[in-house]
Amino acid sequence: MDAGAPVPWWRIAVVYHVYVRSFQDTDGDGVGDLPGVLQRLDYLADLGVEAVWLSPFYPSPQRDFGYDVAEYRDVDPVFGTLADFDRLISQAHARGLRVILDLVANHTSSDHPWFVESRSHRMSAKREWYVWRDPHPDGGPPNNWLSFFGGPAWTLDPHTGQYYLHHYLPEQPDLNYRNPEVLEAMLEVMRFWLERGVDGFRVDSASHLVEDAHFRDEPPNPAWRPGMRERDRLLHVHTEHQPETHEVLRHFRTLLDRYSEPGRERILIGEVYAPNPILVSYYGTSESPECHFPFNFALVDLPAERWTAEDLKALVEAYESSLPDWGWPSWVLGNHDRPRVASRLGEERTRLAHFLLLTLRGTPTLYYGDELAVRDVEILPDQVRDLPGLREYGGRWSRDAARAPMPWDDSPGAGFTTGTPWLPLPPDFRVRNVVAQRQDPGSMLHLVRHLLHLRRQTPALSVGAYRSLPTPPGVYAYERFTDRERVQAVLNFSDRTRSVEAAGEILLSTHLDRFGRGRTPVELRPYEGILLRPSA
Ligand code: GLC
């Protein structure tokens, strides 16, 4: 980037991930909708985020709650109308909020007219839009590839006698990007939404867009142990991270760049779960870029017992040092597919986790409700709505747990709905809700809001460089700095008081009970993080 050129918005922004079904219902059917998001834009603007990522709201049979799209260029009636979407985007923009859509590019719903046509006949004009193969000579699936949601990644279509590929549910057939018509169709989908003003896309399942041309079997994973996912019995060397997948992402990026202008960049975020060296390949190269950033799920994947100062420092620095020097980092604490951060870490460490998320270098993504430390809800096996959870785990575990309705207040529907919520409300919603936390000056909500506002006012935090600082055991500290400004984050991940040689003005403590000039050395209470403006 040119020195002196304005920093692009997406490097400064904090992204807020709205799972539309669970955010705000306005028509009493128990399911959140786009008018509901519109109604809560003031909340988001006041919280201090700058971008909203909306989970899929396109027409869909909802087998995977919208990640099975039956029509890419419309709104499912359960979520509203295109006119609602247009209102939402213009109102968001009026508040300085960018809108990012979920681009479910890897697969469609089996109800999508493309697939209906594709499966109708071996000679159909859309046959090659999906991945069809003859059975193995033994009559079984063409090869050993496995689906994320249990069982083979292939389903036989008895009518035409061939198998089709699906990395997820059989109701989510995989698109064939080796066919240029498919790429063109997806670019057309992107144009449709870009013309309506969207600011970017989060590409769902971005690492799976194209598979091995020779359909080779995947080798066994020597590290697989009972208890691990069935799918991970194999090493996914032929279904993930293929060079042709990168090519597709480059086409997506080229289109976005065409729609971008200074101050109005349209961005591409990739959903990629991978170790650092592979993850960073999704930036592409400086001449031929791909994602503005792939999500970095390292903090989502870090087991609770490894949330120690030493492990975190190693994790941050391994990631930082694997980035290309022009590659901008990303940090995520939770999403709609994983247990919530407050359930993984407990309340005290969730405060530190938010402090980390919002003070590290890179664009943070916040999952709705985490700003209240909402926990996973218990879903009884017969209440499970998540079909993959039912099929893969027989309902013993499901992603529903992390998708409970947002608790806005202590009214019977938690301010989320006047009807029956589609999933149980968080059981503590009468005390843990937005209204209650607004009234409590020490709440998680105040902490997150405070951090977001500090981040906005402090260029060192939003765009500055990172370097770690020496600390006693159990403490992780780093400095964020620009030419003009320095701030220091000091995080005590231990359950003991620790003192740190640091002097300056305390801008914030995660306990929210001390500000201003501190004594030297600074005493950190157990699980306390502080942000300091060091004395000159
Ligand atoms: C992504 C989504 C997940 C969905 C899957 C299939 O991983 O985050 O919710 O089930 O893709 O689209």
Distance 465 CA to ligand 1 centre (A): 33
Whose C-alpha lies nearest to ligand 1, atom 12?
A: 67
Of all residues in the chain, what percent carry a pLDDT higher than 70? 99
Residue 244 has φ and ψ, to the nearest 5°, of: -70, -25
**Residues catalogued as catalytic:** 204, 271
Phi, psi (degrees; rounded to nearest 5) at 387: -60, -45
Q: Average pLDDT for residues 296-323, to the nearest whole number? A: 98
Of all residues in the chain, the percent with pLDDT exceeding 90 is: 93
Nearest CA to ligand 1 atom 7: 205
Where are the strands (E) in 431-473, listed by range? 465-469
Q: Beta strand pairing status for 529-534 and 498-500?
A: unpaired
Question: Which tens digit of pLDDT belongs to each residue from 34-58?
Answer: 999 999 999 999 999 999 999 999 9
Q: Which ligand 1 atom sits nearest the alpha carbon of residue 335?
A: 8
Ligand 1 centroid vs 59 CA: distance in angstroms?
A: 16
Q: In angstroms, what is the span from residue 347 Cα to ligand 1's centroid?
A: 27
Query: pLDDT digits over 368-425, tens only?
Result: 999 999 999 999 988 999 998 898 888 888 999 999 999 999 999 999 999 999 999 9
Q: Which residue's C-alpha comes closest to atom 9 of ligand 1?
A: 337
Give the ligand 1 atom nearest the CA of 336.
9
d(CA 283, CA 292): 6
Q: Please report the pLDDT score of residue 4 as a whole number.
A: 66
Average pLDDT of the chain to the nearest whole number: 96
Give the distance (Å) from ligand 1 centre to CA of residue 205: 7
Ligand 1: nearest atom to the Cα of 149: 10
Residues touching ligand 1 (Cβ under 6 Å) are: 64, 67, 104, 168, 204-205, 271, 336-337
The model's confidence at residue 5, banded by pLDDT at 50, 70 and 90, is confident
Q: What is the 173 CA–ligand 1 centroid distance (Å)?
A: 13
> Which residues on neighbouring strands pair with residue 491, listed in sequence order?
476, 529
Give tens-digit pLDDT for 329-368. 999 999 999 999 999 999 999 999 999 999 999 999 999 9
Q: Do the beta carbons of residue 488 and residue 532 sit within 8 Å? A: yes
- pLDDT at residue 121, as a whole number: 97
The residues, ordered by sequence, that sit 6+ positions from 325 with a Cβ below 8 Å of its Cβ are: none
How high is the pLDDT of residue 394?
85
- pLDDT 10s digits, 134-186: 999 999 999 999 999 989 999 999 999 999 999 999 999 999 999 999 999 99
213-225 pLDDT, tens digit each: 999 999 999 999 9
pLDDT by residue (tens digit) across 78-136? 999 999 999 999 999 999 999 999 999 999 999 999 999 999 999 999 999 999 999 99
What does the alpha-carbon distance between residue 108 and residue 69 come to, in Å, rounded to a whole number? 5
Q: Which atom of ligand 1 is nearest to the CA of 107?
A: 12
Confidence band, pLDDT 50/70/90 cuts, at residue 3: low
pTM: 0.97
